[in-house]
Structures are given as structure tokens and as C-alpha cells.
Structure 1
Amino acid sequence: MISRLSAVIAAFAFAATLAVSPVQAQDQKPADAASAVAADAAPATAAPAAPAAAVENPYGLQAMLKHGDAVSKGVLAILALMSMGSWYILITKLWDTQKMGTEAKAVRATFFKKASLAEGVKGLKEGSAFRFIAESGIEASEHHEGALTENIDHNSWVTMSVDRSVGEVGTRLQGGLGFLATVGSTSPFIGLFGTVWGILQALTAIGVAGQASIDKVAGPVGEALIMTALGLAVAVPAVLGYNWLVNRNKAVMANVRAFGADLHGVLMGNRSVAKR
């Protein structure tokens, strides 16, 4: 009898346990869901982070201008002057060669079709190289007198005058090319001097500090590398511009010499006709 009573009590306890367990599970699920919703909502309600401030480069060109010594600033100023002079010469000489090339085409098309040399000269632009050569040749042809020139025949006198005028035009056209050549050959070494000076400053800072820390080395070495880059940046356009202008000058001067030779032939032909 007692054993049957124990079995009944055990059965009731097991049934009660099964009935309570789903209720606890249901209670835990809403709690877990509420905690998940709160976790998802927390980032949404959080204030946005402030944007990071821009970090200034302590080893760039701007820092070198602010904190560099007199030598580094002097090297930078020299390179800047060289660069500005190179670009000025390059632009102005390109304009001059372009203008002379256009004038050469117009002269070849119209000058020698005029009724006389005087009309041809009037058709040329004031201050142009072709008008200068034409006026010099005509003046030499018309004024061949004097005790010093009586032993020089008229042909040689006019030839020398035309050649001299052509040479002056060529000299004027080549002005500034020497500066470009100088900049192209010396600016890398000026930049290299800035590099050596920057490395010297780095070694001095290391010796004074007694330790090779990166903050003692990075600044001077950065300045040194900037100087090297600037020296090359100044030299490359100067060298390219020099070679380009030399080739353009050759083409333009070929037209100028051809005009001088044609003018000389016209002047000698007028002289022969006048003698008959």
C-alpha cells in the first residue's frame, strides 16, 4: 500500500514539473526578445562620433617653410627663381618662333609678288625680322660709297649686310637658351646641396639628442628629399624646353636664311638692270 502511494506521489510530481517548464520557457523567451530589441536600439539612439581632426604633416613643404633654417630657405628661393625664369623664357620664345613662322609663310606668299621692293617692304610688319633684313639689304644696295668701302664690290657688300642682319635675327632668337641650359645643368646639383644639408642637420640632431629617434631624423631627412625632388622638377622642364626651342629655331632660321638669299638675288638683279 505504501509503495502504491509513493508511485502516485511521484507521478503527480513529474506531471507538475512538465506543466511548469513550458511556462518558464515562455517567460524566458519574451525576456530574451526584449533584451535583443534593447541591444538593437542602443546603437541607433547613440550619438554620432565626432569627425577626426585633420592631422598636419610636420615634415612637408609647408613645415619646411615655417621651421626651416636660412640655408634650406635660400636653396628653395634659388630653385623658385630658376623655375620662374625658365618658364618665362620658354613661353616667350615659343611665342616668338610661332610669330616668325607665321610671318615667314606670309612673306613667301606676298613679298616677292609686289611691283617693287619699296612696296614689298611697306607690306611687312613694323619691327618684324623680315622687314629688318629687307631694309638692311636695300640700304646697303643703295649706299655703297665711301673711302673705306670702295675696295669692296657691290655684291660682296650687299651679301655681308644681309648675312649680318640674318645673324642678328638668329642671335636675338636664341636669347635665353643659355639660361635654360644653365638651369637644366645646375638645378639638380642645387637640390642635391639641399639634400646634403638636410642629412647634415639630421646627423647633428642625432648627435645633440644622443639617440637616433625618428622625430629627430624624419624632419631633416624629409626636407632633404623635398629638395631633391624640387631640383629635378626645375631641371626637367628646362632641358626639355631647351631642346624644343633649339629645334624650332632651326626651322625658323631656315626660312629667314631663305628670305635673305632671295632678297640678295632680287637686289643683284635690280643692280644689273640699272646698269644696262
Structure 2
Amino acid sequence: MNVNPENALGFGHFIAQADAVGKSLLVVLLLMSAISWYLIVMKGITAFVRKRRSEAFLNFFWNASSLEQVQNEIATHGVRDPFSHLTAHAMHAQAHHAKYGAAKLEEAGSAQDFLTRTMKKVLDEENTRLENGLTVLATVGATAPFVGLFGTVWGVYHALVAIGMSGAGTLDKVAGPVGEALIMTGLGLAVAIPAVMGYNWLTRSNRVLTAKLDSFAFDLFAFLSTGQALGGGGRQENVRPLKPAAKA
């Protein structure tokens, strides 16, 4: 059975007719798509697990009877979320300054100054960890359409040159090659749209978590400084305030 050449036009025919530049652009788009989907899936799973662990720790923290109980919980199960990470460093900083004082330049100032610097450092580390990989998604979302457009322009140029050399400039001869070249634009959009949506989703998720972490940091600092917990920061209603830990 003979296949009509007009019916053979399509993605496979476009790839077969593409030169090194067109195939290189296609490989670039496929790599960009694979990287963006990997980041979206992995960071999405990480965000889900982090949210569950954070909620569990906050529920335990605000229902604990003393900071010793919180310290034992962290020592037993380790630091598994941003809130326990912040709590562990804050309590360690308070105990360290109470025992050794300002022994080094980084520990200069009052206990509250040292505690503030320690907590700010942890918050910066958590923000950096949350933003890791988002720049790649933003770059893919911004550049993939233009990579596809460049592939289309390159394909159209070669298609028109081939048509001009053959001397057949009728619409049925032009539409097929030009339509095939437009496939690259579609591929560019197919790569960019998931990257942009994933970036927006992860950015919003990180912004919500950062706001909760900042609120919790304020409560934790106030409690460690005064020995009394304030409202907010994920604290459960109708729970007993924590008792301050005994100074080392």
C-alpha cells in the first residue's frame, strides 16, 4: 500500500527533515521539560512531607509541658522540618550563651541579641532551601517559548528555501513544511506552561510556610526571652503554656 506523501507530513517527518540546529533545539526543549518536571515532582513531594511534619511538630510543641520535653523529642526523632530546626538552634543558642556567655565575637551582646542572630541565620537557611530550584523553573518558563519560536523560524526559513529551489510555490506545497515548523512553537509552549504553573504553585506554598515560620519564630523568641508563650505561630488553642527549661 503506497502512502501519500502529503499524509506523511507530521512530527516524525519534521524530525527527519530537520538539520543539526533544529534537532539541537529539540533536545534542549526535551531537557528543559525533563528538568522542570523533575523539580516540580520532587519539590512537590518534599513540600507535602514537610507540611505534615511541621504540623505534627507544632502540635507537639504547643502541647508540651516543658522545654525539656521538646528537647527530648528533638533528640529522639531529630530535626525533620523547619520548625524543629529553628527550635533546636534557638534552645541551643540560649543554653550556650547562658553557660559560656560572649566567649567569641559572634556571641557578643546580650543573650537576646545572640538568640536573635541565631534565629535569623536559621530563617535565612530555610528560605534558601525553599527557594532552591525555583530559579531553574522560572528560567525554563521564560525561555522555552523563545527557544521553540527560534526553532520555528529556523524551520520556516529552510522550508521556504527548499520550496523556492523546487519552484513549486503553491499553497499545498507551502502549508505542509511551514505547519511542521510550527511544531517547535507548540513544543516550547508545552515546556513553558507546566514550568510557570509549577513555579507559581511552589512559590505560593513557600510563601505560606515562610509566613508561618516567621510567626512561630516571634512566639519562640518571646517565650525563650520572657518564659511566656504568645498567641499565633501555629499554637493550639486552650493549651498550657510551656515551662522554661532550666538553665545549664
Q: TM-score, normalised by structure 2?
A: 0.79
Per the TM alignment, residue 218 of structure 1 is displaced from its structure 2 partner at its CA by 4.6
Structure 2 gap segments, 5+ residues each: 229-243
Tell me if the contact between 2:127 and 2:210 (Cα under 8 Å) persists in the aligned partners: yes
Is residue 62 from structure 1 mapped to residue 19 from structure 2 by the alignment? no
Tell me if the contact between 2:90 and 2:119 (Cα under 8 Å) persists in the aligned partners: yes
1:144-192 per-residue CA deviation (whole Å, 9 max, x = no partner) reads: 3314146411101101211211221121111111111111111110010
Per the TM alignment, residue 59 of structure 1 is displaced from its structure 2 partner at its CA by 2.1
Residue type at the aligned position of 2:89? S
CA 1:122–1:66 in structure 2 vs 1: closer, same or farther (change >3 Å)?
farther
Q: Which residue of 1 aligns with 2:90?
A: 137
Secondary structure (helix, strand or coil) at the match of 2:182 reads helix
Give the Cα separation in 2 of the matches to 1:72 and 1:223.
12
Secondary structure (helix, strand or coil) at the match of 2:105 reads coil
Tell me if the contact between 2:58 and 2:83 (Cα under 8 Å) persists in the aligned partners: no
Question: 1:86-105, aligned counterparts within 5 Å?
Answer: 86-105=36-55
Give the Cα separation in 2 of the matches to 1:102 and 1:252.
12
Q: Which residue of 2 aligns with 1:128?
A: 81
Tell me if the contact between 1:94 and 1:245 (Cα under 8 Å) persists in the aligned partners: yes
Per the TM alignment, residue 71 of structure 1 is displaced from its structure 2 partner at its CA by 1.1
Match of 2:147 among 190, 193, 199: 190
Q: Percent identity of the aligned residues? A: 40
Tell me if the contact between 1:194 and 1:224 (Cα under 8 Å) persists in the aligned partners: yes
Per the TM alignment, residue 67 of structure 1 is displaced from its structure 2 partner at its CA by 3.3
1:81-108 per-residue CA deviation (whole Å, 9 max, x = no partner) reads: 1111111111122222222222232222
Give the Cα separation in 1 of the matches to 2:119 and 2:86.
6
CA RMSD of aligned residues (A): 2.7
Q: Which moved more, 1:156-165 or 1:120-129?
A: 120-129
Per the TM alignment, residue 116 of structure 1 is displaced from its structure 2 partner at its CA by 3.2
Q: Which moved more, 1:130-139 or 1:212-221?
A: 212-221
Q: Which moved more, 1:230-239 or 1:142-151?
A: 142-151
Match of 2:62 among 85, 96, 112: 112
Instruction: Report how many residues are paired.
Output: 224
Q: Which residue of 2 aligns with 1:74?
A: 24
Q: Which residue of 2 aligns with 1:42?
A: none
Residue type at the aligned position of 2:51? G
Per the TM alignment, residue 274 of structure 1 is displaced from its structure 2 partner at its CA by 6.2
Q: Which has the higher contact order (CA 8 A, sep 6+)?
A: 2
Tell me if the contact between 2:145 and 2:192 (Cα under 8 Å) persists in the aligned partners: yes
Match of 2:166 among 193, 206, 209: 209
Give the Cα separation in 2 of the matches to 1:227 and 1:183.
15
Q: Which residue of 1 aligns with 2:130?
A: 173
The structure with more radius of gyration: 1
Give the Cα separation in 1 of the matches to 2:136 and 2:205.
17
Residue type at the aligned position of 2:28? I
CA 1:115–1:202 in structure 2 vs 1: closer, same or farther (change >3 Å)?
same
CA 1:248–1:112 in structure 2 vs 1: closer, same or farther (change >3 Å)?
same
Q: Which residue of 1 aligns with 2:233?
A: none
CA 1:149–1:80 in structure 2 vs 1: closer, same or farther (change >3 Å)?
closer
CA 1:150–1:157 in structure 2 vs 1: closer, same or farther (change >3 Å)?
closer
Secondary structure (helix, strand or coil) at the match of 1:115 reads coil
Give the Cα separation in 1 of the matches to 2:128 and 2:4.
54
1:91-148 per-residue CA deviation (whole Å, 9 max, x = no partner) reads: 1222222222222322222113323334314435533322221221122112233141
Per the TM alignment, residue 65 of structure 1 is displaced from its structure 2 partner at its CA by 2.9
Q: Which moved more, 1:166-175 or 1:62-71?
A: 62-71
Q: Which moved more, 1:213-222 or 1:233-242?
A: 213-222
Structure 1 gap segments, 5+ residues each: 1-51
